[in-house]
């Protein structure tokens, strides 16, 4: 008996010497899996560099986004080529406006559209999907039939109609994109809620007297965070693409504001004059943001996928 107790004491002493055995939480495990994805980590830093460019790039600008440099308008063939001496680091557009400043504004606008539209989709889609999935029955049928009806209408057409009727502005664009971007989110959330609401820990919470609202807030929604984070990271580039496509058609944000889609449209219209930089500069930022967000979303999906643990 004494020998067994002395052996247990020795094991306990060794464990305390090495700091004990500590398990990893799911969050820490997901973080380590994400950090091991080199492509995703590189994209995080690259996206951070773009955000820093948008925030602090104006400090290096010698021209604002609306100012016209009349000296570059004389020769269309060599119109506003990129030059450090002139202060036009990315050149100028066809009207002699500094492309560096306009690219900063356009990148910030596109990022804002993606982030705010995604936030709206998260709030509306999560609320709609959780309500439909948790209540079930007739409520679920009615709510999801509404989603099906909205799905039957082309999303781009809905956005264009809203912009034409309500006018072109930042607020209208956010509302237009947010009004259609939550549909897929609601379906995903509903499916996950249906799978969760009859699980043992939910039944235990009900047996313990926890209210239905608190079950949703404390148990259902926290278990949806992984899916929501992954989908949100993939929705941002989709909304940026939608805004860029609408701006490319000339129906997006109006002057003096601009976006990457509008700059790409302007650059495509002047390619015949040899001013290729007017297209390549905004196209580089658009492609960079899109690809980095997709790689980050792919890394998050792999890190949070329970099947790979």
**Residue 198, SS3?**
coil
**Per-residue model confidence as pLDDT tens digits over 258-288:** 888 888 888 887 776 667 888 888 889 988 9
**Alpha-carbon 11 to chain mean position:** 50
**Per-residue model confidence as pLDDT tens digits over 101-137:** 899 998 998 888 888 888 888 899 999 999 998 888 8
Can you list the alpha helix ranges (DSSP code H) found in the chain?
2-17, 26-35, 38-56, 99-135, 137-151, 155-166, 170-181, 183-196, 200-207, 212-215, 225-248, 260-269, 277-304
**Per-residue model confidence as pLDDT tens digits over 19-58:** 444 445 666 777 788 888 888 899 999 999 999 999 998 8
What's domain 38-56+104-308's superfamily in CATH? Answer: MetI-like (1.10.3720.10)
**Per-residue model confidence as pLDDT tens digits over 238-256:** 888 888 788 777 777 777 7
Integer Cα distance of 208 and 31 in angstroms: 33
């Amino acid at each position: 008996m004494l020998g067994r107790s002395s052996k247990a004491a020795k094991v306990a002493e060794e464990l305390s010497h090495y700091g004990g055995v500590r398990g990893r939480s799911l969050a820490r495990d997901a973080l380590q899996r994400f950090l091991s994805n080199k492509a995703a980590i590189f994209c995080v830093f690259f996206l951070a560099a773009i955000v820093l460019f948008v925030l602090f790039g104006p400090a290096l600008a010698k021209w604002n986004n609306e100012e016209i440099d009349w000296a570059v308008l004389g020769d269309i063939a060599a119109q506003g080529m990129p030059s450090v001496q002139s202060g036009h680091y990315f050149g100028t557009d066809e009207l002699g406006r500094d492309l560096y400043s306009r690219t900063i504004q356009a990148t910030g606008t596109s990022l804002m559209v993606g982030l705010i539209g995604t936030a709206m989709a998260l709030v509306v889609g999560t609320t709609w999907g959780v309500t439909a999935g948790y209540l079930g029955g007739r409520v679920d049928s009615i709510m999801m039939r509404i989603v099906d009806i909205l799905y039957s209408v082309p999303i781009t057409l809905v956005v264009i109609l809203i912009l034409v009727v309500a006018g072109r502005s930042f607020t209208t664009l956010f509302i237009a994109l947010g009004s259609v971007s939550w549909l897929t989110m609601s379906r995903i959330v509903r499916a996950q809620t249906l799978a969760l609401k009859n699980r043992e820990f939910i039944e235990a919470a009900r047996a313990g007297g926890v209210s239905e609202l608190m079950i949703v807030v404390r148990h259902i929604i926290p278990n949806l965070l992984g899916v929501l984070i992954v989908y949100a990271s993939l929705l941002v580039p989709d909304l940026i693409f939608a805004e860029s496509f609408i701006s490319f058609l000339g129906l997006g944000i109006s002057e003096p504001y601009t976006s990457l889609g509008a700059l790409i449209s302007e650059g495509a219209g002047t390619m015949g004059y040899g001013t290729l930089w007017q297209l390549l500069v905004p196209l580089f930022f658009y492609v960079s943001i899109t690809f980095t967000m997709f790689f980050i979303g792919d890394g998050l999906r792999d890190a949070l996928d329970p099947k790979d643990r």
